[in-house]
Amino acid sequence: MMGIGALLKGAAGIITGGLGDLPGKIVDTVSRQFPAKMSDAEKKAMEVEIMKVTTATEIKMMSAWNKQEQQFQDFTKEMEGTASDLKSIPIVGPLVIFMRGAFRPVCAYGTLFIDFMALSGKWNIEAIAATNADQAWALLWAINICVLTFYFGERAIKNVAPLIERLMKK
């Protein structure tokens, strides 16, 4: 499980466009501009001040990101409702709760079934999509990437993508 520090660092990376080590980069850049007559103690004091300012800026950015995320979650609750809202509706409420919870697993197992049928040859994709079989195969891969990204994460898919690409070429 991801620690809170890694989560915050990831959030900072998203906000800053991957500049997670912003304070270190600024210190490195500015320290090369220090005058030669500046003492080591003055240089260290300046580095500490730069670190304080950039760290405070990062904290403000992460706080803004968290506030934006909370607003989005509140908006979603207002527009879609919550499970407790649905429980009050007889018959339809529990059915909608079930369907919301079952949607992703049904899509995943459905994709697994389609993969099995297509890759085992039980379904002839070329015959089914007579006009454009390449497009049908591309659609199958796109569906798989969407489902697998949900379950394993973007990083895992990026790591496996070159292997998949090589296999597809063969």
> For 131-168, what is each residue's pLDDT tens digit?
777 788 888 888 888 888 887 777 777 887 788 778 77
Report how far apart, in Å, the C-alpha atoms of 9 and of each of 4, 21, 45, 89 are. Answer: 8, 9, 25, 42
pLDDT value of residue 74: 87
The mean predicted confidence, pLDDT, of the chain is: 78
Residue 17 has pLDDT above 60, yes or no: no
Give the residue carrying structure tokens 């220090």. Answer: 34
Q: What is the pLDDT of residues 77-121, one digit of tens each?
A: 887 777 777 788 888 888 988 888 888 889 889 999 988 988 888
pLDDT band for position 54 (cuts 50, 70, 90): confident
Question: How open is the CA angle 65-67-72, to the nearest 5 degrees?
Answer: 95
**Among the listed residues 37, 9, 36, 34, the one whose alpha carbon sits nearest the alpha carbon of residue 23:** 9
Q: E-strand spans in 3-162?
A: none
pLDDT value of residue 113: 93
pLDDT value of residue 52: 86
